[in-house]
Structure 1
Amino acid sequence: MNRIANKLVEISSRKPRWVYAALLLLTLGVGSQIPRITIDTDPENMLAESHPARTFHNATKTQFAMHDAIVVGVVNDEHSQGIYNRSSLTDIYNLTRSIQAIDGVINADLMSVSTVDNITQAAPGTLRFEWMMPQAPQSETAAQQIQTDIERLPLLYDTLVSQNGKAAAIYVPIEDKNESYRIAEQIRAAMDKYDGTEQWYITGLPVAEDQFGVEMFVQMGVSAPLAGLTIFILLFVFFRNIPLIIAPMVVAMATVIVTMGLLIGFGFTVHIMSSMIAIFLMPIAVVDSVHILSEFADRYKPGEDLNVVVKDVVGQLFTPMLYTSITSSVGFFSLMLTPIPPVQIFGAFVGFGILFAFIVTIVFMPAYLTRMSDQALANLQQAMHQGVSARGTRIGRVARSIGNIATGYPRTLLVGFGVIFALSIWGITQIQINDNPVRWFKSDHEIRVADRVLNHHFAGTYNAYLVLTDKREQQTPANLLAVDAMPESLRDWRQQTLADISAGNHAEQLQNLIFAIDDKLFGDVTASETAYLEAVMAMTETADSQGKTFQNPQVLAYIAGLQSHLGASGLVGKSNALPDVVKVVNRELHSGKANDYELPDTASGVAQTLLQYQSSHRPNDLWHFVTPDYRSSLIWLQLTSGDNQDMSAVVSLVRDYISANPLPEGLTADWAGKAYLNVVWQDNMVAGMIDSLIGAFIIVFVMMIILFRSLVYGVLAMLPLTLTITFIYGLIGLVGKDYDMPIAVLSALTLGLSVDFAIHFLERARATYQQTNSVKQTMAMMFAGPASAITRNALVIALGFTPLLFAPLVPYITVGVFLASIMAISALVTLLMLPAAMSAIRSIVFKPAN
């Protein structure tokens, strides 16, 4: 290893300008890709495009014409009639018309009080479909009539207007969810024109995700420079020499630019995780440089040969730096084992960035240090000794105090760490897996405020879809027109008929076959042909009737029973499904009174209600609940919470209900909707993180044994990271912090960087003992020098993440808090646990040199 290090130092020292030029060209060349950046905050992309849950979700949206929607809400708490007053309804009417004029809005499916039908009875057996609010109400009486009409329609009540009458909603379906921020901004501009007593809100997952993307882009441009500034200030405090600390800043900036440039250049979008790459790499990239600067500042004396000192410093640190870089990158590369694409990309590029930073450090730092002027070196010596008391620097005094505790009370410390470990294991069992894109914003953000207000008033702004499908095999026209029983004279007619009716879905083919047989029967046919055709006609009509599963009253009754069970559970705000449509139309076809709000007794009765419903102004609304062949139906669930814990509870509720009340024969139930996709990717992430963590742990353990050529030292190296990981995640469980996406990936950083400190401590301790042959003297020397370097590095990394604490987005704050905590804890555990463990088993750890 030292030969490689010496060769690299020699080349870079002799050709520093070539090193500068190569690094500059590489950084500028790759960095030129950064302006091509595209932002992606869609939680769907947490799953691969081919994932079955995502495939089914997208197929369901297409099959039932479901679109991502922005939810606009209005609340009037001041008027005695809530929103059912002339002024509020006029504003809703006018805003709806403004929204319809926005490019990208699907007007046909927009739901507002002014765009839906009021269904009433014109006469017994006849329906009247009128716009609920064809124009702004001209009087308070007209406004009150709208309240009466809406409360008679379960599909609208508590969906478009809240039960307390204080709030109304406009559901704005959009063609492209990536345009939701633009559309939301135009809606906000339109809302600002109204100065009545109402409060207006905008929420919904599409606008939350797109809004996050906009703010994330801003955050990327703020956090990374702030982290760089923080690190620069820290290095100045440590070394008091600006020319010297420029070198690690160059390494950090080059690493960030090249890594992000490669990510964007390869065509990857910047997701919430990859947006943090810069802030992750900025502190990590300077770690090796700080080790070199610390050692160089301690070793160099005026008049010495710079090349010789630099070569000695890099030669001594090369092996531990190599292994710490590899172990850190392994921690991040392990994220590629997860089935979550954005996490895979994040892990791959941070892992690459760490290795790239190591290479740049080894090549650039010697070139830079050997070019420093005599005056700069003299200033370095003055700064390093300025303010140093007889007891050493402040960091040195802290390190020695930690050393006194570690070596003075080893058994007490180990018992204490054992208790902490046990409590942490219990805390891990209390972790709750949960995430919600709306909660990525702070609690006072307008998206969060709107989410709370509207979900308080309405049945819920979060959607999930339960899709029931009849999977039984159906009779095909070819099977019905059996050749073996067919008169020979009809063979040509059969072939031509099958060709003519081949287009369309199965139900359309059966209908067309009925028409074709009927036409043939009206022609010149023989008795045998008539008998055959009439038999086939009867079988086709039966197949057509039985094939329309969701016109069967028993099947609809099962759905209605499931809806009632969901509503009574308290987990679902409301559900809308085909039985609701059928019951409303059936009521109005009969008496118009509540006692007729029921399902018809026959399939033909159901068919009649649905045929009547298609005479409305919005006939295509029917196909949001059932497919045209009536073989698949959708239950739309409205949830007041987007937390995946709540969605998981709903899934379990439905599973238990189906277990106790089996689905009608041939039916299957599957889930779709963004709330459900969150559950799927969270489950995949947890399983993937466990696999990646275990895999990385084993790899790092093997690397430690190889590095130290000792099983004992390998085990010692793993102690700090084991306790740190366990403690951090145990603490998460104990304090009740949800295990979300940012928290999940922190395990990789904990594993990589916690072992870094241990490597440096153990490597230097073993080398020092070979020189002193005294455990006491070895520990004293360790806490006089190397411990200070470890403390200094921990401060650089921990404080380097603190700019994230001021971010407006919760995931960034979470990362900042926990990364700073992880670095502080892992360094402290290393400096306390390792000396205590080594002292407790000194006879095994410290062996005299031969």
Structure 2
Amino acid sequence: MLVKFLKIIISHPKITFFGTLFICLFLSFFTLRMSVDASAESLLLEDDVDLKTFREISKHYKNDNFLILAFEPKNGNLFSRTNLSKIEKIHHDLENAPLVERVFSIINAPLLQSSENTDLKELLKNIPNIQSKDINQTKAKNEILNSPFYKNNIISKDGKVAGIVIYLKPDDIYNQLIEKRDHATNEKNKNQIRLAIKQHQDKQKVINKQSLDFIKNIVKKYEANGDKLYLGGVSMIADDMISYIKSDLLIYGISLIFLLGLALYYFFRSWRFVFLPLFICFISLSAASGVFALLNFQITVISSNYVALVLIITLSVVIHLITHFIEISQTHPDAKIQRLVLQTLLAKAKPSLYAIVTTMIGFFSLILSNIEPIIKLGIMMSIGIGLALIFSYLFLASILVLLKPKQYHKKEFKFNFLKFCAKISLDSKKRYIIYGISCVAILTSLFGISKLRVENSFVNYFRDGSEIKKGLLVIDKNLGGTLPLDVIIRFKNNQINTDSNNTLDSFEDEFENLEKKDTYWFNSQKTRLAKKVHEFLEHQKFVGSVLSLNSLLILGKNINNGEDLDDFALAFLNENLPQNFKQDLISPFVNIKNNELRFTMRIVDSDPNLRRNEFLIKLNENLHELLKNDNVQIQITGIMVLYNNMLQSLFSSQFDTLVFVILAIFILFIFVFRDLKFSTIAILVNVIPLSVVFALMGLCQIPLDMMSITIAAIAIGIGVDDAIHYIYRFKEEIKTKTIEEAIINSHLSIGSALYYTTISIVLGFSVMMSSNFIPTIYFGVLTVFVMILLLSGSLFLLPSFLISLYSKNSKISNQYIKHTNI
């Protein structure tokens, strides 16, 4: 069947070429529909219980979506008239930005201790700020610098950096769609809602981009005077990630064309074998991208690597075919081009198919994770490399026939290198050294892998010196941290003031009814717990800013001549504070309807000693211990929890992924090689180098992140190609030759293709090191390293295993080794 099909397409090269080209161009047309998604939601677990809790809590408290603009004046005097005037202008400009709901800074921060008016009732009618006429500027400065609400939030402890909080309008439509999706009863309805969510997000992205660009232009405008302004926040990080992804895709494309072009000319010394592989690679990539667009797949931080991966794997297939074509062209110089092409495609049909299938299995294993972008990457790569094999065969079958026959030559020194590798394996003493190194690698891996850890530092995701990292560091170190985290303390609905032990039973119902009214919600137990938890959180390492009801209690004590506010004073403030001030001083920390207190924190994300998962586990344990006798419910939520859940899910699923990949490929090996020993050898040759890479990460304290955690599936998927091609060729050679000749010939033939493909892969992944995104750089470096180890395994360890396997039946001639010209 395959022979007939190949004969047909080879016999009609023009129809095959133009027909395939038309299909590719048609699919490529849809590539323009692909969009980039770097939103926080794209990396979260859809079924995460904590995510549902986070969204539910967000309904109780508004203004969770915000940006922070740090202002550092050139002259260092933040409270000078000139600088206050600048902040006021920035403040006013930001209020006019699209999607901005309100702006909070030292300009409009309410001041209750700096006015000459000491009557609280009168003061609450018209709360002054630092720009008010009757304000005492010295007192105002001291109040802002020492206020529990402002210090380490909208002003640094040293008073040199001001923070301007930009609250963005909530996306009510998105929230409603998410709620509908979560309550959908069947998968069909969920998919329809998911499509509606995507369509809404596409529209919203344009509006968000306009708003952020507007804000960035304001920043540039005021930076012209020499003052320093730094913008940070989740939306800002997402926008910069999108810019980096688009930049990386452009750099990948241009750099890969140049580097792979040089490599191909270095391999084949023929321009036709430079342009032909590059043409097939990029037309296949464009067609695959069109398919992804038709499937409504979006490019994320993780899946942006599909460009380099598809190009590299397609090139690997093409190089194997071209290398074999050149080899048989030299062996049969007088044969017709059609026969040479047919023999090449037939000879490589099985190993290429098996290699692609194993690679697809490696990528397809990514669906075992619960992270949608990683699942999509697995599906995208499985489709992409499947199309790569099909298009490579169709284009090569037609183009090689259409090109005029030509004599081809290989570089001789590569033969010398490959012969050297073969000689090492054939030498019994050196072979045992290879085994010894492998054993050391395995033992080292067992120790190193135990040291692996998972982290997700947003600050450290960007290059040193980049504008976004500068901004995040300034905010992180001067304005209370960058990573939001909340603690929710929920009281029982029937709970009353437990401090009043002598309350008569006859009055219980009356008190319960009174407590349902906002005025009587505040009591001594709640204020005691607010203080207890707040002070506990403030003393936790890695915690920057902490705000809660206790912040208001401290403020109240300062304006009440050092005396604590009682229940009636709190109730009075809750009833009489103007709404615009209440939304900053009470509403973010108290939800009377749901009978809960909220403690908002920001974690210092740049601290190198922060271990997020350990921190969250310990914080949860300590809070439960602290409040074990208070009969309350405790919930820790926030962006930090959600991202930590995502990475921990990936880490825990890594074992399942590896087991699935190894077992699936092992079963396929048994089917391919029909031999348990060959299958075991092929697996070991790939698992050992992969283990070394993870051991290196553990020993060098390189954390697993959202990209490097996918290396296992990707590397083993690509790496098994070498073992399949080598063993397949060796089994052909051993039928008619001695073990020595079979190893030498396998090295000189298939080893050459492995050498070419590995260099191409190394060049391809090295392009990732030019990224501004640190996880991409690590991914590139680690993948390059593992590919070099996999090539070493195929050229040294694999032949050593094969020689040991056959040595029982065939004794290797040392004389052959000594006298072979290597």
Output the CA distance in 2 between the equivalents of 1:131 and 1:192: 33
Output the CA distance in 2 between the equivalents of 1:211 and 1:688: 29
* Partner secondary structure for residue 117 of structure 1: coil
What are structure 2's unaligned runs of at least 5 residues?
A: 172-203, 497-504, 813-822
Matched residue type, 1:457: N
Matched residue type, 1:87: T
Query: Which residue is 2:796 aligned to?
Result: 832
Output the CA distance in 2 between the equivalents of 1:758 and 1:322: 13
Output the CA distance in 1 between the equivalents of 2:436 and 2:531: 60
Query: Which residue is 1:806 aligned to?
Result: 770
Matched, 1:37 2:37: no
Query: Which residue is 2:725 aligned to?
Result: 760
Matched residue type, 1:437: F
Query: Which residue is 1:270 aligned to?
Result: 299
Matched, 1:412 2:422: no
Question: Is residue 181–residue 207 contact of structure 1 (8 Å, CA) maintained in 2?
Answer: no
The Cα shift of 1:19 comes to: 2.0
Question: Is residue 801–residue 816 contact of structure 1 (8 Å, CA) maintained in 2?
Answer: yes
Query: Which residue is 1:480 aligned to?
Result: none
Query: Which residue is 1:641 aligned to?
Result: 605
Question: Is residue 551–residue 630 contact of structure 1 (8 Å, CA) maintained in 2?
Answer: no
Larger Rg, first or second structure (1 or 2): 1
From 448, 451, 460, the equivalent of 1:439 is 460
Matched residue type, 2:366: L
Question: Is residue 38–residue 242 contact of structure 2 (8 Å, CA) maintained in 1?
Answer: yes
Question: Is residue 479–residue 545 contact of structure 2 (8 Å, CA) maintained in 1?
Answer: no
Aligned runs of 1:443-842 on 2, under 5 Å?
A: 443-470=464-491, 472=493, 539=509, 541-545=511-515, 551-585=522-556, 587-588=558-559, 590-591=560-561, 595-596=562-563, 598=564, 600=566, 603-614=567-578, 617-619=581-583, 621-629=585-593, 631-641=595-605, 645-663=610-628, 667-772=632-737, 774-842=738-806
Aligned length in residues: 760
Question: Is residue 68–residue 173 contact of structure 1 (8 Å, CA) maintained in 2?
Answer: yes
Query: Which residue is 1:526 aligned to?
Result: none
Matched, 1:211 2:211: no
Matched, 1:111 2:109: no
Matched, 1:363 2:394: yes
* Partner secondary structure for residue 781 of structure 1: helix
Question: Is residue 720–residue 834 contact of structure 1 (8 Å, CA) maintained in 2?
Answer: yes
Query: Which residue is 1:144 aligned to?
Result: 138
Matched, 1:153 2:147: yes
* Partner secondary structure for residue 229 of structure 2: strand
Question: Is residue 765–residue 778 contact of structure 1 (8 Å, CA) maintained in 2?
Answer: yes
Matched residue type, 2:593: D
Question: Is residue 88–residue 198 contact of structure 1 (8 Å, CA) maintained in 2?
Answer: no
Output the CA distance in 2 between the equivalents of 1:106 and 1:327: 52
The Cα shift of 1:621 comes to: 4.9
Call closer, same or farther: CA 1:811–1:22 in 2, change over 3 Å: farther
* Partner secondary structure for residue 286 of structure 1: helix
Output the CA distance in 2 between the equivalents of 1:620 and 1:169: 15
Output the CA distance in 2 between the equivalents of 1:289 and 1:824: 20
Matched residue type, 1:677: L
* Partner secondary structure for residue 734 of structure 2: helix
The Cα shift of 1:613 comes to: 3.5
The Cα shift of 1:98 comes to: 1.0
The Cα shift of 1:404 comes to: 1.5
Question: Is residue 260–residue 277 contact of structure 1 (8 Å, CA) maintained in 2?
Answer: no
The Cα shift of 1:117 comes to: 0.9
The Cα shift of 1:159 comes to: 0.8
Output the CA distance in 2 between the equivalents of 1:143 and 1:585: 20
The Cα shift of 1:255 comes to: 2.2
Output the CA distance in 1 between the equivalents of 2:631 and 2:461: 41
Output the CA distance in 2 between the equivalents of 1:687 and 1:144: 56
* Partner secondary structure for residue 771 of structure 1: coil
From 50, 60, 63, the equivalent of 1:53 is 50
Q: Per-residue displacement from partner, 1:271-299 (whole Å, max 9, x unpaired)?
A: 11222111111011121211111111011
Matched, 1:428 2:449: yes
Question: Is residue 77–residue 166 contact of structure 1 (8 Å, CA) maintained in 2?
Answer: no
What are structure 1's unaligned runs of at least 5 residues?
A: 476-534
* Partner secondary structure for residue 84 of structure 1: coil
Matched residue type, 1:397: N
* Partner secondary structure for residue 624 of structure 1: coil
Call closer, same or farther: CA 1:136–1:833 in 2, change over 3 Å: farther
Matched residue type, 2:153: T
Q: Per-residue displacement from partner, 1:119-166 (whole Å, max 9, x unpaired)?
A: 24844664624555463999xx96533212213421112211111111
Q: Per-residue displacement from partner, 1:304-342 (whole Å, max 9, x unpaired)?
A: 122222222222221111110000011000001110000
Matched residue type, 2:9: S
The Cα shift of 1:418 comes to: 0.7
Output the CA distance in 1 between the equivalents of 2:440 and 2:492: 56
Deviates more, 1:613-622 or 1:361-370: 613-622
Call closer, same or farther: CA 1:649–1:169 in 2, change over 3 Å: farther
Output the CA distance in 1 between the equivalents of 2:328 and 2:788: 27
Output the CA distance in 2 between the equivalents of 1:806 and 1:621: 46
From 221, 226, 232, the equivalent of 2:255 is 226
Call closer, same or farther: CA 1:847–1:33 in 2, change over 3 Å: farther
* TM-score, reference length from structure 1: 0.84
The Cα shift of 1:842 comes to: 2.5
Matched residue type, 2:779: V
The Cα shift of 1:730 comes to: 0.8
Output the CA distance in 1 between the equivalents of 2:381 and 2:267: 27
Matched residue type, 2:659: I
Output the CA distance in 2 between the equivalents of 1:47 and 1:187: 27
Output the CA distance in 2 between the equivalents of 1:233 and 1:370: 25
Call closer, same or farther: CA 1:617–1:606 in 2, change over 3 Å: closer
Question: Is residue 84–residue 146 contact of structure 1 (8 Å, CA) maintained in 2?
Answer: no
Output the CA distance in 1 between the equivalents of 2:376 and 2:22: 25
* TM-score, reference length from structure 2: 0.87
Call closer, same or farther: CA 1:214–1:665 in 2, change over 3 Å: same
From 131, 134, 142, the equivalent of 1:135 is 131
Question: Is residue 44–residue 677 contact of structure 1 (8 Å, CA) maintained in 2?
Answer: no
* Partner secondary structure for residue 466 of structure 1: strand
Output the CA distance in 2 between the equivalents of 1:736 and 1:132: 52
Call closer, same or farther: CA 1:763–1:92 in 2, change over 3 Å: same
The Cα shift of 1:637 comes to: 0.4
Matched, 1:349 2:370: no
The Cα shift of 1:556 comes to: 3.0
Matched residue type, 1:316: A
Question: Is residue 228–residue 282 contact of structure 1 (8 Å, CA) maintained in 2?
Answer: no
* Partner secondary structure for residue 783 of structure 1: helix
Deviates more, 1:265-274 or 1:719-728: 265-274
Q: Per-residue displacement from partner, 1:607-651 (whole Å, max 9, x unpaired)?
A: 234324357644565221122425122110022216895443442
Matched residue type, 2:106: V
* Partner secondary structure for residue 569 of structure 1: coil
The Cα shift of 1:426 comes to: 1.1
Query: Which residue is 2:316 aligned to?
Result: 287
Cα-Cα RMSD: 2.8
Call closer, same or farther: CA 1:132–1:325 in 2, change over 3 Å: farther
Question: Is residue 43–residue 372 contact of structure 2 (8 Å, CA) maintained in 1?
Answer: yes
Q: Per-residue displacement from partner, 1:138-196 (whole Å, max 9, x unpaired)?
A: 9xx96533212213421112211111111110011122695555434333433444455
From 94, 103, 108, the equivalent of 1:99 is 94
Call closer, same or farther: CA 1:630–1:760 in 2, change over 3 Å: closer
Query: Which residue is 1:399 aligned to?
Result: 418
Output the CA distance in 2 between the equivalents of 1:555 and 1:405: 76
Call closer, same or farther: CA 1:471–1:407 in 2, change over 3 Å: farther
